[in-house]
Amino acid sequence: MKITYSPAYTIVPTYECFNNCTYCNFRIDPGKDNWLTLENAKKIFQNLQNHHVCEILILSGEVHPQIPLREKWFQHIYQLCELALSFNFLPHTNAGILSLSEMQKLKSVNVSMGLMLEQLNPKLMQTVHKQSPSKIPEVRLQQLKWAGELKIPFTTGLLLGIGETAKDRIDTLEAIATLHHKYGHIQEVILQPHSLGSRETFTEANFSPHQLPELIYQARKILPAEITIQIPPNLIPDKQYLLACLQAGARDLGGIVPKDEVNPDYTHLDKQELEKILRSGGWELKSRLPIYPQFDNWLNVKLQPKVKLWRQKLDKSAIY
């Protein structure tokens, strides 16, 4: 049986973020980061030619929606997407909370988008999200709803081990399922264990990856069958439990990238080593696009030919 992954590369427009989640190993305080320039992004894309990269994940810290810098930040992300497309890469943007109009504009230059729900228990706004206004559960659910209304192929997920209960996890999964039943737009749900990093201030115990197979089994019963469950292999140190996660129903390993920007202390396995582990369990690693085939007709006329070309390359095994 096949397990998929995305041949991806992550670019970060800015690490600046007005949220300050206690478990974060990504953010830099507003005003203290040198933003990625279009010129440097162009050099990155030029260097990625013929490096078996398909997806450009545009992952950004958030600029406060009510300050003048917001428009510059949004336009910068839009231009980075356009630039990626000009090199025939397929952009997927995850830039936190966006307005309806921002999402509508980004749809024209992205084949898919994403936002982690993390957890929907409002009590976390008094703990790990106390200084993170865009983590209000209703605000994040609204973004998933807008994505459905706009017909944006979407990835979301849960962050595990940040103070939630077992019931919270089920409630969050059920909320995702409910939205998908209405709009049919969720292509992947990520189950991401919180893993202690060197920069965070969060002091609770990590979510044990040994708990993950059972949660995947539960998620598979809650989520519609067409939603793929994704797990990050670099956050599951015990490879026997990685195989157990696949046996429980996970079918995707996300973007296998040179650096996990969200969890920089946890490097990805070499692809050949990962393939060896999967083969020992009877699984085959196969590349995919950042948009699943059933959503291709949701794209505009500018994006559809680019996706079609990549699908032809996949069929001919031209990328891996």
Residue 124: pLDDT over 80: yes
* Chain Cα centroid distance, residue 215: 19
Residue 319: pLDDT over 60: no
Label residue 257 by pLDDT band (50, 70, 90).
Answer: confident
Q: How far apart are CA 176 and CA 62, in angstroms?
A: 23
Confidence at residue 315, expressed as pLDDT on a 0 to 100 scale: 79
Residues 138-181 have pLDDT tens digits of 999 999 999 999 999 999 999 999 999 999 999 999 999 999 99
Residue 235: pLDDT over 80: yes
Label residue 316 by pLDDT band (50, 70, 90).
Answer: confident
- Compute the average pLDDT of residues 237-247: 93
Nearest to 118 by CA among 173, 174, 61, 157: 157
User: Per the structure block, which two tokens stand in for 152?
Assistant: 């944006």
Confidence at residue 138, expressed as pLDDT on a 0 to 100 scale: 97
Q: How far apart are CA 228 and CA 250, in angstroms?
A: 7
User: Per the structure block, which two tokens stand in for 295?
Assistant: 């959503």
pTM value > 0.85? yes
In this structure, are residues 6 and 289 in contact, taking their beta carbons and an 8 Å threshold? yes
Nearest to 185 by CA among 89, 108, 291: 291
Confidence at residue 50, expressed as pLDDT on a 0 to 100 scale: 86
Confidence at residue 270, expressed as pLDDT on a 0 to 100 scale: 85
Residue 117: pLDDT over 70: yes
Label residue 36 by pLDDT band (50, 70, 90).
Answer: very high
- Compute the average pLDDT of residues 97-123: 98
Confidence at residue 195, expressed as pLDDT on a 0 to 100 scale: 87
Residues 38-62 have pLDDT tens digits of 999 999 999 999 888 999 999 999 9
Determine the Cα angle at 108 with ends 19 and 136, to 5°.
25
The residue ranking higher by pLDDT, 315 or 91, is 91
- Compute the average pLDDT of residues 120-133: 97
Label residue 317 by pLDDT band (50, 70, 90).
Answer: low
- Percent of the chain having pLDDT more than 70? 98
Q: How far apart are CA 102 and CA 215, in angstroms?
A: 34
Confidence at residue 283, expressed as pLDDT on a 0 to 100 scale: 97
Q: How far apart are CA 69 and CA 240, in angstroms?
A: 47
Confidence at residue 237, expressed as pLDDT on a 0 to 100 scale: 82
Residue 318: pLDDT over 80: no
Residue 205: pLDDT over 80: no
Q: Go through the domains of the chain in sequence order and give each one's CATH number.
A: 2-287 (3.20.20.70)
Q: How far apart are CA 215 and CA 34, in angstroms?
A: 39
Residues 289-304 have pLDDT tens digits of 999 999 999 999 999 9
